[in-house]
Structure 1
Amino acid sequence: MENKYIIKSNSFTFLNDKIKELSKDYKEIENFSLVEDSIDDVIESMQHFGFFSESKCIIVKNVKYFAGNFSYEEECNKLKNVLSNLDDKTMVIFINDEVLKSKKIVKDLISLGVKFIDLTGNNEDDVVTYITDYFKKENISINREALLEIYKNSLNNIDITINEIERLSNLSNNITHDLVASNTKKNDEDVTFAFSNAIIAKDFNLGFKYLDTLLKNGSEPINIVALLASSFTNIYMVKSASVDGLSDEEIAKLFGYSNPKRVGVLKRNGKIYTLDQLKDIIVSLSNLDLKLKSGYDQIYALKEFLLDL
């Protein structure tokens, strides 16, 4: 029986569903977070039977050992030793929003029989499969075109996408693209974030369409530059902190984000960039800001920057 798992997830909804599925036969469940608890606390629990039954499920979140540059050699050795002798009646689930399968500890745990589960939905096919199956249980159908439209409007955030589909399901259990188009409002703020998201993702065809909409609606180029500078700066800060081994909760606290989910979004957006590339973009945006304030044709300078990006 499989009883050891590593789960990579950036969706609260799918993560909770998977935990419920794996732990449904366990009456006793213990939860740990390596932000608040030590690995020694976890190991102690793994070495003892449950209070009310011989079997128990141990859930360990924010396992920073699976990502970043730090090796955490002492902690990882302790973890490998206890997993090598884990009782069959104990299930353990390790969770982190980033898991590098190339890291030695991840390779070692997989070789010990730990099963790796990726719930991040890294491509559109994964997203469609996850969300379609999720709503089938609720007797709600949604076609691919409608689902991807909602997903893009939700800045590629699975949980926001689910919330929007649940809202639309109050109108119909069969969600089509026409239903989405007629019941989804795009205000200036939506377009602004959609523009920023498209540029960060290097979808320049879509980005220029949103840019034209923003300019037609009276947005000032200098404010658009400030938006991009803020977006790329936040991505750089989060990526740098993540490389240093900080968890999402630690990063959120460090930078004053009210919700750690924002950290997950910023980390995903930063995957296609190196830290050096992000530095160069931030410097270029600073130079562009000076240009706009020095009498250059603002729209031309902004579009020139985007074409060079």
Structure 2
Amino acid sequence: MIPIWKKIKNKQFSPVYLLYGNEMFLINETKHQLVHHALTQEEMDFNLASFDLEETPVETALEEAETLPFMGERKLVFLHNPLFLTAERAKEKVDHNLKKLEQYLQNPAPYTLLVFIAPYEKLDERKKLTKQMKKQAEVLEAKKLGEKELKKWLKDRAASNHVQIEEEALDHLIALAGTNLMVLTSELDKLSLYALEEKCITKEMVIKLTARSLEQDIFSLVDRVVTGKVEEAFRIYYDLLKLNEEPIKILALIASQFRLIYQTKELSRKGYGQQQIAGYLKVHPFRVKLAAGQSRRFTDEQLSAIMMMLADSDLQMKSNGMAKPMIIEMFLFKLQSIIRKHG
């Protein structure tokens, strides 16, 4: 099956599109591609329209879709928030003539690209209209990408930038930049420019050029302590202080990482797979994979002791006693001691 973005770039347009899901970057990227490839700059003033269906009846938008384009061969009409495709229709503030929409879908205007933007995790598959829309529209389900999907998406993005990316480089890019698609796109585009001559993004390029997120620095900090590289852990911590990161925020992220490690270990013991854990904890599967790797380095006793230490550090942080940066230093020393004692 040809990806939707490739069809759009090749100007293989459909009269109706349905973009739904909670990964807004994918939806916005597809919208941008449609605008860029379907209309010229001059045509946008006359042939681009947008409606919020929480405020405007769908029949008003359909009238616009049925009106011939002015000074161009096609129109592009965006319809945001079609709540009537979900099970939440009771919350609607506007009465929509859905019969009119059903009729339009059966015979859409050939000169108009009608694009429904549904920023909802799920649509109501029981509804006749939803079934009809999915059958007759070009559909993009913009969901959070799993590890395999994320890697494929990054490879496709690199290919569109006329470069390849090594598998090891992919792993390092996700580990350093995280799983936010906007951040990953920015980093990949930067790497693609750098690698344009060699036509291949390597692990060394990723390490040299990729900006790290605070969350990834915290993951690395914890990982350095766990693997006995305490000096490197303190170097990361002091670098964060130099960047004016608040100690209370650093402690909160360290606590969040250990909480994820603890929960991943518990749920794995109960027989949950990594995808199930990710869904249950509402975090990206790649984060669960990394946490699972770290969890194997800890005993239950160690994790219980660490969680107690974090609670004590948080209490100290919120009192007016010891200097906040020193509280985290003390925590890191105690953490090292616990790991050595039980190691």
Alpha-carbon distance in structure 2 between the residues aligned to 1:111 and 1:207: 53
Match status 1:178 vs 2:204: yes
Structure 2 residue 25 is matched with structure 1 residue 7? no
Decide which structure has the larger Cα Rg and report it: 2
Structure 2 stretches of 5 or more lacking a match? 1-13, 257-278, 285-308, 338-343
- The equivalent residue for 1:46 is 62
CA positional deviation for 1:288? 4.1
Q: Which has the higher contact order (CA 8 A, sep 6+)?
A: 1
- Taking structure 1 as the reference length, the TM-score comes to 0.57
How far apart in 2 are the matches of 1:5 and 1:196?
39
For residue 277 of structure 1, what is the aligned residue in structure 2? Answer: none
What SS class does the counterpart of residue 121 from structure 2 fall into? coil
1:45-84 to structure 2, matched below 5 A, reads 45-48=61-64, 49-52=66-69, 56-61=75-80, 71-75=89-93, 78=96, 80-84=98-102
The 3-state SS of whatever aligns with 2:187 is helix
Counterpart-to-counterpart distance in 2, 1:85 and 1:303: 68
CA RMSD for the aligned pairs?
5.0
Give the alignment partner of residue 121 of structure 2, picking from 100, 110, 124: 100
* Structure 1 residue 136 displacement after superposition: 1.7
Distance in 2 between residues matched to 1:29 and 1:154, nearest whole Å: 35
Alpha-carbon distance between aligned partners in 2 of 1:42 and 1:232, rounded to the nearest angstrom? 48
Give how far 1:175 is off. 0.8
Structure 1 residue 137: deviation in Å? Answer: 2.8
Going by fraction, where is helix more abundant, 1 or 2?
2
Encode CA deviations 1:38-76: one digit per residue, 9 max, x unaligned. 442554021342242696432134567778x96544458
- Look up the match of 1:276: none
Aligned length: 248
Selected match of 2:33 from 20, 35, 39: 20
Confirm or deny: 8 A CA contact 2:58 2:97 kept in the other structure.
no
Distance 2:81 2:151 in 1: 27
On the 8 A contact 1:153/1:194 being kept in 2, the answer is: yes
Going from structure 1 to structure 2, the CA distance change for 1:171 and 1:77 (only over 3 Å counts) comes to same
| Deviating more after overlay: 204-213 vs 155-164 | 204-213
Match in the other structure for 1:299: 332
Identify if the C-alpha distance between structure 1 residues 32 and 287 changes in structure 2 by more than 3 Å, giving closer, same or farther: farther
CA-to-aligned-CA distance 1:68-110 (integer Å, 9 cap, x gap): x96544458627444322251154322255x222x53x65343
The 1:191–1:45 alpha-carbon spacing in structure 2 relative to 1, beyond 3 Å, is closer
Query: Taking structure 1 as reference, are residues 51 and 42 closer, same or farther at Cα in structure 2, changes over 3 Å only?
Result: same
**Residues 80/164 of structure 1: CA separation in 2 closer, same or farther (3 Å cut):** same
Which amino acid letter does the alignment assign opposite residue 69 of structure 2?
A: F
- Letter paired with 1:112: Q
Question: SS at 2:194's partner residue?
Answer: coil
Q: Which string of whole-angstrom CA distances, capped at 9 and with x for unpartnered residues, describes residues 252-302 of structure 1?
A: xxxxxxxxxxxxxxxx9x8249xxxxxxxxxx9776421465789533777
